[in-house]
Amino acid sequence: MTKKNINIWIWLQNGRLVKAVSCADEGTIRIYDEDDNLILKRTGLNQRQVKVIEKQILRYGAKKLDKHAEPFKFL
């Protein structure tokens, strides 16, 4: 089993917590609201497109969670 290049981003938008999960290996981006309801799912992206979307997410003030950190530890 291979490890996938998965990144988790979280940020506040309009006073609500938003979470994005990106996987460059699969070419997917999924965005969830604070109740873990799927808002947006993009598939079929190449690795460059995933990186461009991640840069856009950073513009919203998102923080990338460390792969070994406890969830929501920074809050």
Q: Report d(CA 22, CA 30) in Å as an integer.
A: 6
pLDDT tens track for 13-71: 889 999 999 999 999 999 999 999 999 999 999 999 999 999 999 998 899 987 666 55
- Domain ranges across the chain: 6-64
Q: What is the pLDDT of residue 66?
A: 78
Cβ atoms within 10 Å of 47's Cβ, excluding its own = 12
**Confidence band, pLDDT 50/70/90 cuts, at residue 4:** confident
Q: What is the pLDDT of residue 72?
A: 53
Q: What is the pLDDT of residue 68?
A: 63
CB 4 within 8 A of CB 22: no
Q: Report d(CA 47, CA 60) in Å as an integer.
A: 21
Residue 57, class by beta-carbon neighbours within 10 Å (0-12 exposed, 13-18 middle, 19+ buried)?
A: buried
